[in-house]
Amino acid sequence: PLVEAMEIEERPSITFKDVGGLEEQIREIYEVVGLPLIKPQLFDEIGVEPPKGVLLYGPPGTGKTLVARALAGEVKATFIRVVASQFVNKFIGEGARIVREVFRLAKEKKPSIIFIDEIDAIGSRRVDMGTSGDREVQRTMLQLLAEMDGFDPLEGVKVVAATNRIDLLDPALLRPGRFDRIIEIPLPDKKGRLEILKIHTRNMKLKDVDLEEIASMTEGFSGAELKAVATEAGFFAIRDGKNYVSQEHFIKAVDKVRNRMEKRKQIFG
Ligand code: ATP
């Protein structure tokens, strides 16, 4: 199960060019996570301690995983991804062992970035420790804290965690020396949406397509939803028997993705 529990990419091929919008967030994560990995002496000399971990928070599909992977690509680091909710529903009883193994591997393959998705699954504040399941989750979280406290901020390992529910997190996670930098990854504004649409249509054959107009029409869409718009537009073109994608295909695709978003909202609130 250990191999299944993590995804390892030696040196992701994507970089910041593959991320639309989020300029400020990219600058910050590069400074506090990227630079210490490639130029630790800079921090040593000046005598500042960079954070060991940062927390990314924001709505689903806004690019939290993407930013972390792109950072690993930029600084040529190993990217190790674990999904914390799987400790609770898939690798029950193995959480602490997996956490230990992830850090061991990260040190072996440094420089590395450990990405912990859905950290709220193990890092939520809880009122009582009623069931053995709760205690197991607690053990996983304590192991994570022990690992974070146990390494040096300049030894080539950084931890990036992500959540949609920062309000649920245990403040113990956010203490100095742990996830002491918090970066919000919001929904994209119009400029961001345009950049994201450009990225996801890079390899598409477009004819008379005005992506600015599509960016204006898609307020409230996440990056993942904009990617879906590009894909759906391609499907409409194929259904239409065309070998290029037109504005009309994009407009239909926006409608389709918007309907899907509304249905989801009705179901999940
Ligand atoms: P979740 O909270 O659901 O895990 P996330 O914030 O980690 O979501 P990603 O998994 O990074 O979101 O995004 C899903 C996909 O959507 C990405 O692989 C990418 O193709 C696209 N995407 C999301 N945001 C952006 C962006 N800012 N620029 C370009 N593509 C994006």
CA 136 / ligand 1 centre spacing (Å): 30
Cα distances (angstroms) measured from residue 251 to each of 230, 247, 258: 10, 6, 11
CB 93 within 8 A of CB 136: yes
Residue 204 backbone phi and psi in degrees, to 5:
-100, 150
CA 263 / ligand 1 centre spacing (Å): 20
Residue 196 CB–ligand 1 contact under 6 Å:
yes
Task: Give the model's pLDDT for residue 222.
Answer: 98
Residue 128 has pLDDT above 80, yes or no: no
Half-sphere exposure for 33 (CA within 13 Å, toward CB): 37
Residue from 62, 166, 193, 268 whose mutation best tests the ligand 1 pocket (most atoms within 8 A of CB): 62
Name the pairing type of β-strands 78-83 and 6-9. antiparallel
Q: Cβ neighbours of residue 73 under 8 Å, at least 6 residues apart?
A: 11, 12, 13, 14, 15, 79
ipTM, two decimals, is: 0.96
Residue 91 has pLDDT above 80, yes or no: no
Between 111 and 152, the more confident residue is 111
| Span 225-260, pLDDT tens digits | 999 999 999 999 999 999 999 999 999 999 999 999
* Bridge partners of residue 246, in order along the sequence: 207
Question: What CA–CA distance (Å, rounded) separates 47 from 43?
Answer: 6
| Span 5-18, pLDDT tens digits | 889 999 999 999 99
Residue 155 has pLDDT above 90, yes or no: no
Residue 12 CB–ligand 1 contact under 6 Å:
no
Name the pairing type of β-strands 78-83 and 112-117. parallel
Residue 187 CB–ligand 1 contact under 6 Å:
no
**Binding-site positions for ATP:** 61-66, 200
Q: Where are the beta strands (DSSP E) in 112-156?
A: 112-117
Would you place residue 127 in the very low, low, confident or very high pLDDT band (cuts 50, 70, 90)?
low
CA 209 / ligand 1 centre spacing (Å): 23
